[in-house]
Amino acid sequence: MRIRVGFELVYDCPQPTPMMLMLRIHPERAQDLAAPDTLRSDPVVPVDVYIDGFGNICSRILAPAGQIRLSTETVVSDSGLADEIAPDAPEIRVSDLPTEALVFLLGSRYCQTDLMSETAWGLFGKSPPGWARVQAICDFVHGHVRFGYDHARPTKSAWDVHQERAGVCRDFAHLAVTLCRCMNIPARYCTGYLGDIGMPADSAPMDFSAWFEAYLGGRWYTFDARHNRPRIGRVLMARGRDAADVALSNGFGTTTLAGFKVRADEIAG
């Protein structure tokens, strides 16, 4: 399967503004790209690229005063397989976890494990450990939270989502990640492209998507509390503790998002 992905983002900057951007496809998918997803800008500005502490590709620019248009497009080869299901995948004791997984047990900006621990154990303390427990968490979040773009706000945390019972895909992911961590299951936040491949077309304008990965049986598995079903054609951009680690853009000054288009469509051939 081949998937054409890309975006066009337009920012208004009242003055020259340094920006950090996380808009590139994750290095683990590099071999699947027909061409590099090089970040283009109009007007053209120098782009410095580096790899952050979580292995994501980051870009630095100095956006000029006025309007800047950022875009990319490429074709990704994909297996066409849905997210893997491994119902026998067991939990790993904290004492046996690899060191690199431990950070994904800790509380973070949007995932307040200290506030959610008692709730998590009350809900899932008696559920079967391992895959079944993570799936139970996804089932709960999927049923507990109502999806709607009007419920989005940049400061909303997992605790807020649980109390308000409404949010967007990042909020579903934050709540599920937090509940997993409370149950001593490492979980990390993911962002990327997810089109409607194999699903009824959605009439709403496309956005980037958020999901999460849980560490079970010695490896990471994909889970999606918003859709709560295996999906085809995920294209990972970045992973982190939560959305603060993988923000599409951080502007060090005033910036206004004036245009936003995303695509992820299966193409023939």
Collect the ranges in the chain with pLDDT lower than 50.
Answer: none
User: Would residue 84 count as lying in a domain?
Assistant: no
Q: Are residues 228 and 141 in the same domain?
A: yes
Q: Which helix (H) or strand (E) holds 228?
A: none
pLDDT, tens only, 69-107: 999 999 999 999 999 999 999 999 999 999 999 999 999
User: Would residue 85 count as lying in a domain?
Assistant: no
Q: Are residues 118 and 99 in the same domain?
A: yes
User: Would residue 207 count as lying in a domain?
Assistant: yes
The span from the CA of 166 to the CA of 162, in Å, is 8
Domain, as residue range, for 145 = 94-246
CA 238, 207, 24: angle at the middle one, nearest 5?
A: 30
Q: DSSP character for 147?
A: E
Q: Are residues 29 and 9 in the same domain?
A: yes
pLDDT reported for residue 46: 97
Q: Are residues 110 and 158 in the same domain?
A: yes
State how many domains the chain has. 2
Kindly give, in sequence order, each residue whose CB lies less than 8 Å from that of residue 140, ignoring residues fewer than 6 positions away: 123, 124, 179
Query: Roughly what angle, to the nearest 10 degrees, separates helices 169-182 and 131-144?
Result: 140
pLDDT reported for residue 269: 64
Q: Are residues 104 and 177 in the same domain?
A: yes
Tell me the CATH number at 226. 3.10.620.30
pLDDT reported for residue 201: 78
Contacts of 116-119 with C-beta under 8 Å, sequence gap 24+, read 116/158, 116/159, 116/162, 116/178, 116/179, 116/182, 117/182, 119/162, 119/179, 119/182
Q: What does the radius of gyration of the chain's CA atoms come to, in whole angstroms? A: 19
Tell me the CATH number at 63. 2.60.40.2250
The neighbour count for residue 15, using CB atoms within 10 Å, is 10
* Strand order across the 249-251 sheet: 48-51, 57-63, 17-21, 249-251
The span from the CA of 224 to the CA of 232, in Å, is 12
Where helices occur in the chain by DSSP H, the ranges are 113-124, 131-144, 158-164, 169-182
Would you say 157 and 174 are in contact if contact means Cβ atoms under 8 Å apart?
yes
pLDDT reported for residue 157: 98
Residues in the chain: 269
